[in-house]
């Protein structure tokens, strides 16, 4: 197949693009290489793709509708016998806390950008669309029959189900990703697109985002800087290795209709436990610096992955200990420049 992968210089997007190329698909990657975080990481990831057979890169902002329509029109016309058959959308502004400071940018990319891509599918006959979403949409976690009641506290013995209500997001970022999900359903309903929405749970791995906890913990502990911990550090996150995420996304090409699917590690881990694991791998002690809990943070995340297993025969294959060791190894190999990335 011939895929368009947006956000191809991003953490997950670049991994998915590489996996598609490994399977001998053709990939057109687009990315605007913005400075939402250190561009050196994006350039490093893009460098792993450029020069590979069947990969083509275009620098483009999905929020620019005219430029996007023109580019896709030319792609389709340039090779009518081998048109784009699927769009995988990873282009997004990510980050929960940052979205509170600048919600407009998040909506421009995450909502308007997604709308522009869906319109392109409709206009150019691209039948399959995959949308990257997030566990953040679950917010305060109420079930549909409880919407009239106050949000109940999270119960640690219950994983997040795709059928849970997502009507109470806790940040503009989460709200923007929920809005994109709703748009996707509308375009499936109106135009019959085969559309899959993936809700990712705390993705980590080599060359990960520098604003995410795993990258931060590794960098801070390695350099001896204070490790910022919001709240008591007992918050639980369902960490998921990036290669496992990519396998699930690639497998979605066989799906039809409209599907919302969790991809997670199915093993919640306390942040303080993650810090201790990083300490062990680096052989260094963390200097913990506690701050008040952030109002955009949820107490815990935990993916129910039974739907992914049923529809995609998918389950995570990388134990946290193995994935974390690979992440630390990547950081140490690229420490000369990675230590200078802003977190």
CA distances from 57 to 31, 60, 63, 161, 231 (A): 8, 9, 17, 36, 42
Using the structure block, give the residue that is written with the tokens 């290795």.
Answer: 241
CB 248 within 8 A of CB 308: yes
CB pairs under 8 A, 24+ apart, for 254-258?
A: 254/312, 255/194, 255/196, 255/311, 255/312, 256/194, 257/188, 257/194, 257/195, 258/184, 258/185, 258/188, 258/189, 258/194, 258/195, 258/196
For the chain, the farthest-separated pair of C-alpha atoms sits apart, in whole angstroms, at 59
How many residues would you count in the chain? Answer: 343
Beta carbons within 8 Å of 202's beta carbon, 6+ residues apart: 135, 212, 213, 237, 238, 239, 240, 264, 265, 301
C-beta separation of 180 from 157 below 8 A: no
What are residue 340's phi and psi, to 5 degrees? -95, 0
**Separation between Cα atoms, residue 111 and residue 131, nearest integer Å:** 11
Q: Whole-angstrom Cα distance, residue 4 to residue 225? A: 40
Which residues are designated catalytic? Answer: 173
Euclidean distance between CA atoms 254 and 17, whole angstroms: 17
Q: Comparing C-alpha atoms, which of 43, 8, 45 is closest to residue 27?
A: 8
Query: How many Å from the N-terminal Cα to the C-terminal Cα in the chain?
Result: 37
């Amino acid at each position: 197949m011939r895929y368009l992968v947006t956000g191809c210089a991003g953490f997950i997007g670049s991994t998915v693009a590489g996996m598609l190329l490994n399977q001998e698909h053709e990939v057109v990657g687009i990315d605007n290489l913005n400075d939402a975080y250190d561009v050196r990481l994006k350039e490093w990831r893009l460098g792993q793709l450029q020069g590979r057979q069947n990969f083509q890169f275009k620098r483009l902002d999905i929020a620019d509708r005219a430029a996007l329509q023109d580019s896709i029109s030319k792609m389709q016309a340039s090779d009518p016998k081998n048109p784009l058959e699927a769009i995988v959308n990873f282009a997004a502004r990510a980050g929960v806390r940052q979205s509170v400071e600048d919600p407009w940018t998040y909506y421009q990319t995450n909502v308007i950008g997604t709308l522009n891509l869906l319109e392109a599918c409709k206009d150019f006959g691209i039948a399959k669309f995959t949308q990257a979403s997030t566990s953040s949409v679950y917010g305060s976690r109420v079930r549909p029959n409880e919407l009239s009641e106050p949000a109940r506290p999270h119960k640690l013995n219950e994983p997040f189900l795709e059928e849970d209500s997502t009507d109470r997001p806790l940040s503009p970022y989460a709200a923007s990703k929920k809005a994109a999900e709703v748009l996707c359903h509308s375009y499936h309903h109106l135009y019959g697109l085969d559309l899959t929405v993936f809700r990712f749970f705390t993705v980590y791995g080599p060359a990960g985002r520098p604003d995410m906890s795993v990258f931060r913990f590794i960098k801070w502990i390695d350099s001896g800087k204070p490790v910022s911990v919001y709240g008591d550090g007992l918050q639980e996150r369902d960490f998921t290795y990036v290669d496992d995420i990519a396998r699930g996304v690639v497998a979605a090409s066989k799906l039809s209709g409209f599907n919302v699917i969790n991809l997670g590690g199915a093993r919640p881990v306390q942040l303080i436990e993650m810090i201790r694991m990083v300490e062990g791998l680096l052989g260094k002690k963390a200097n913990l610096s506690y701050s008040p809990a952030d109002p955009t943070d949820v107490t815990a995340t935990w993916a129910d992955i039974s739907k992914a297993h049923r529809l995609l025969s998918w389950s995570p294959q990388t134990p946290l200990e193995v994935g974390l060791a690979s992440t630390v190894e990547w950081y140490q190999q690229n420490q000369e420049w990675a230590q200078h990335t802003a977190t």
